[in-house]
């Protein structure tokens, strides 16, 4: 099957508070979008890989890591990889900046 990528503008940079996640629904995917203190923006699927699930957007952000709000798993925002000793992976989506506008491609 051929998968086409679609790009969505999701707001301007200022809409994303530093180190505080925001929920964005793009198409039919719920994203958690984070702006780290160095200004980079990351978009992940807003679903914890923990077997009990739950959201990610409300976690604590440190550097390019996220501590998930319900189970405190440490997740790399760049790759979506859960850090040891826990295991799992979160879907990540490419983000780009066009002027002041943040876009994400799914």
Which residues here bind other proteins, judged by CB under 8 A?
A: 8-11, 15-20, 22-27, 37, 51-55, 58-63, 65, 67, 69-70, 72, 74, 84-85
| Residues 98, 106: Cα–Cα separation, whole Å | 16
Give 59: exposed, middle or buried? Use CB within 10 Å, 0-12, 13-18, 19+: buried
- Minimum distance of other proteins from residue 1's CB (angstroms): 24
- Minimum distance of other proteins from residue 36's CB (angstroms): 9
- Minimum distance of other proteins from residue 23's CB (angstroms): 4
């Amino acid at each position: 099957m051929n998968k086409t990528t679609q790009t969505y503008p999701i707001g301007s940079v200022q809409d994303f508070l530093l180190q505080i996640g925001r929920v964005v629904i793009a198409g039919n995917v719920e994203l958690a979008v984070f702006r780290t203190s160095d200004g980079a923006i990351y978009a992940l699927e807003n679903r914890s890989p923990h077997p009990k699930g739950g959201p990610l957007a409300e976690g604590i952000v440190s550097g390019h890591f996220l501590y998930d709000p319900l189970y405190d798993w440490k997740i790399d925002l760049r790759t979506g990889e859960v850090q040891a000793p826990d295991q799992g992976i979160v879907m990540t989506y490419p983000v780009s900046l066009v002027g002041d506008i943040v876009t994400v491609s799914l």
